Structure 1
C-alpha cells in the first residue's frame, strides 16, 4: 500500500494520424484501430502513433504505449475506463505489480481498464536526459548563492534533455490531444476516465478542449489547473501544510506516548525555530539551521509523527542529532519535472521566490511557507517552464463529473478540488476522510460512490462526506 500511495502522489497522472486536432464532436462511435498482444503479468499491450506536436501535424510522429487489464466479467462490461494514477510518470511498469492490479479488481468487473505512459515516459517515446535532475533535500535555500547554484544545475539538466522531438511538447495541452487520439483508437464514443493526483490535470485540459468527448470522469486528489494566481493557488497548499502541523500538535496533546505530550507543541516549535535562527542547533557532529529544520519537518504521514516528536523534543533540549541527517526522498523519474513545470510555471530568480515566501508567511507562518521553495527546486530556470500555464477554463457542455478529495490532504488540498468542481457544470465534490489518493488508499465509502457513478452516472447527494 505504501508504494502505491507514493506512486499516486507523485510531487506533490497515445494514430495512425487520426483526424481532428481540436474537434469536439464525439457523436459517432469511431472504429477501433488498436491491436493488443499479451505482454505478461496479466496485461495486454498496444501502441499508437501520434504527432510529436499537435500544433504542427507535419512534425515527426512519436509512439504512445498502452496496456489493458481486461474486464473479468464480460456480462457486466461497460466498455473502457482509461486510467492514470499520477506522477506524472510511467504507468505500465507499475501496473505489472499485483498489488496495483488488486486495488482495481472491483472496477474490472465492469470495465476494461486501459492505462498509458504519458508522452516522454518509458513506453511512450520516453525522454532520456544525459544529466541527473538536481534535487536538494534542504530545499529552503539559505541565500541567493545557494539558490543560484542549484538553479544553474537545473537549467543545465533541462538543456541536456532538449535533444529530443518532444522538447517543449510534454505539457497537458499535448496530452489532452493524446487522450482524444486514444479515445478514437479504442473505438469509444465517449471517454470514461479515472484520474488521480497530477493526472487530473490531463482531464481538465481534455474537458476544456474536447467537451463532447467526455463521458464519466472520476477525479481524485485534484491538482487544480484553473487558478492563474500563483500566490492564491500555492497559498491553499501552504495552509493545508500548516493544518498538518496543527493536527500533529493535536495528536501529541492526546497521545501519552508522544515525546512532547503535556507541552504546547506549537510553542516548542516557535522557540526552536527562533533559537535556530539566532544560532544553528548542534547535533550529530554538525549543526542544524532553522531552514533545515523547516525542510526536514517530515509530518505528512501520521506514521512518522512519533519519531518527529522525539526529534523535536531533543532538538529543543539542545541536541539536534535526529534532525542532522538529510532525508532521503523516494526516487522519481528525472523527466517528471519537465511536464510539471510546463503546466505549473515558477519564478526562477531568488528575489521573486522570497516574495512568494513572504506572501505565504501571512497565511502559513510556521511551516506552510516552505511551499515557496518546494516548487522552486524542480522548476527554477528549467527550459520550457510554463508552456501551458494554469488558466480559467470554459467547461460548457461537459457532463457531470465526480471530484473527490481527502480532508487531510496537504499535497493536493481540498480547496483545489472544490474550486475545480465549482466550475464544472453539474459536478459533485465528495469529501472523504483521509489523505492523498482516496480511492487507492481504500476508503470504502468513496470507492462505493465511485463505482456507482462510473457504472450508472449517479452522483452522491450534495454535501456527502465519506468517513
Structure 2
C-alpha cells in the first residue's frame, strides 16, 4: 500500500519552484489617510501595482478599514487582520457580530482589515458569467465532470478580461501587505491571519522576515507542502474522524435515531446498496456518490437530523437525502484566488487517481476530498500561478500557530507541519473546530492576547480545552 501511495503522490506532486521570489525593492512611502465611513469604521485606499513583477505597470486600488483602538493613550500599534476566505473583509466588519469578535484586541491595537486585491472594495473583479457550483460535487462519471469543467473554463475566461484576474495569488497579496505596513508607518507588521489568511501570513513571513513583528496564525491552510497526496490525505483523515465521532455520539446519546446500532456498519451497507441500486425517496433516487457528497457530519448541531435521514434511508426511504444541499452564492473571485495558490488536476482520470489513493487512508467518507478542489479549479485559467512549495524561513521572530483538533477543514496536521518549519514558532494544541479565536475559545484567546501584547509564547506543554 505504501508503494502505491508513493507512486500516486509522485505523479500528483505539485510544482515546487516559483520564479521571482525575491521581494520587490521598496518604493516611496505610499499615501494613506482614513476617514469615517460608517458602522464604526474608518476607511482608506492605497494604490498598488496590478503585478508586483511589473511595479511600473498598471495600478489597482487596495481598500482598507480601521477599527480604532478604544484608548489611544494605551495603544501598542496596529494589528492587521484577515478573516480568511479568500473573500472580502470590510463588508463583514460592518456587522456588529464581527466587530464583537475582535473587540478585546482593540484594548491594545488599531485593528486594520483589507479587502484582498480583486475583492469588492479593492478594485473588485466583476465576472460576467456565474461560477458553476455543484452540490453533488462527487462526479459519478467523466461526462458530468467534463460538463462542469467546461462551464468552469468558460467562467474563468469571462473574468480574464480584467488584468487583476491572473494576479490574485498569495505572493501578490504578500507584497500588498508590505505596502500596507509601510503606509501605516509601522516598523514591523503585527498580523492575525485566520484560515486562508494564514496563507498570506506564510508568504509574507518568507518574503519579508525582518518586517514581521508578532504573527498569530489560526486554522492554518498549509501552503508549504508540495505533495498533493500528503496534503489531501490529512484533510481526508480528518473528515473520516468526523464520521467516527458522529458514530460515537450515536452510541452515547439515546436521542440519536441510530442509537444502539452499529452506525459505521449501517453506513457501509447503505453505500453498498446504493451502488447496486439508488435508494428511492422524495419522488427520485439517491445514488452512492450522492450519499457521500450529502453526508452532513461537519457540524455537531446537524448530527441529529443526519442520523434521522440515515435511519430512514436504511429503512428504504431516502427522502431526507434526496434534496440537494444549498450553498451561498459563490462570488467566483474566491476560486480564482484559491486555485492560483492551490492548483488541482483537471483531468477526470487524474482526479479518480487521487480518489483511489485517498480511499486507502479514508475509505468511508474522507476520500470525497478528492473532488472538492476539482469542482472549483477544473480547467480554470491561471490555475496554479503560485503553487505550494517548500519555503526557506530565516530571520523570523517567534510565531504562534494554533489549529483545532476536530477541524476537518484545516486539519491540525497542517498547522503542525507549518509550525515545525518556522524557527522558534510555537504550536498550540486546542480541542475545537475551525477559527478558534474568532469562535471564542477563551484559552486560545488568552494565550493569543498575551503573545500579541508581550511576545510571550505559551509553554510547549500548553493545550486548550
Question: Which band: TM-score by shorter chain?
Answer: over 0.9
C-alpha contact 2:402 2:430 (8 A) present in aligned 1: yes
1:4-19 aligned at under 5 Å gives the runs none
1:42-57 aligned at under 5 Å gives the runs 42-57=40-55
Query: Distance in 1 between the 2:359 and 2:396 partners?
Result: 38
Q: Which residue of 2 aligns with 1:438?
A: 436
Q: Does 1:294 align with 2:295?
A: no
Shift of 1:24: 8.7
C-alpha contact 1:236 1:413 (8 A) present in aligned 2: yes
Query: Distance in 1 between the 2:418 and 2:106 partners?
Result: 28
1:17-96 aligned at under 5 Å gives the runs 22=23, 33-96=31-94
Query: Distance in 1 between the 2:397 and 2:132 partners?
Result: 42
Query: When the two structures are superposed, what TM-score results if normalisation uses the length of structure 1?
Result: 0.94
Query: Distance in 1 between the 2:216 and 2:90 partners?
Result: 20
C-alpha contact 1:81 1:192 (8 A) present in aligned 2: yes
Q: 1:291 to 1:63 in 2, by over 3 A?
A: same
C-alpha contact 1:86 1:195 (8 A) present in aligned 2: yes
Q: Which residue of 2 aligns with 1:144?
A: 142
Query: Distance in 1 between the 2:25 and 2:192 partners?
Result: 20
C-alpha contact 1:24 1:213 (8 A) present in aligned 2: no
Shift of 1:99: 0.7
C-alpha contact 2:24 2:52 (8 A) present in aligned 1: no
Query: Distance in 1 between the 2:253 and 2:25 partners?
Result: 55
Q: Which residue of 1 aligns with 2:239?
A: 241
Q: Which residue of 1 aligns with 2:408?
A: 410
C-alpha contact 1:25 1:213 (8 A) present in aligned 2: no
C-alpha contact 1:24 1:209 (8 A) present in aligned 2: no
Q: Which residue of 2 aligns with 1:264?
A: 262
Q: Residue 159 of structure 1: which of 157, 172, 187 is its match? A: 157
Shift of 1:95: 0.2
Shift of 1:23: 5.6
Shift of 1:34: 1.2
Q: Does 1:420 align with 2:418?
A: yes
Query: Distance in 1 between the 2:31 and 2:189 partners?
Result: 16
Q: Which residue of 2 aligns with 1:8?
A: none
What per-residue deviation string (whole Å, max 9, x for no partner) do you get for residues 310-337 of structure 1? Answer: 0001111111000000001123422100
Q: Which residue of 1 aligns with 2:395?
A: 397
Query: When the two structures are superposed, what TM-score results if normalisation uses the length of structure 2?
Result: 0.94
Could you say what secondary structure the match of 1:438 adopts?
coil
Q: Which residue of 1 aligns with 2:211?
A: 213
C-alpha contact 2:170 2:386 (8 A) present in aligned 1: yes
Query: Distance in 1 between the 2:142 and 2:232 partners?
Result: 22
After superposition, the CA RMSD in angstroms is 1.4
Deviates more, 1:53-62 or 1:124-133: 53-62
Count of residues in correspondence between the two structures: 445
C-alpha contact 2:133 2:330 (8 A) present in aligned 1: no
What per-residue deviation string (whole Å, max 9, x for no partner) do you get for residues 219-275 of structure 1? Answer: 000000000000000000000000000000000000000000000100000000000
Q: Which residue of 2 aligns with 1:120?
A: 118
Q: Which residue of 1 aligns with 2:450?
A: 452
Query: Distance in 1 between the 2:459 and 2:24 partners?
Result: 33
Q: Which residue of 1 aligns with 2:177?
A: 179
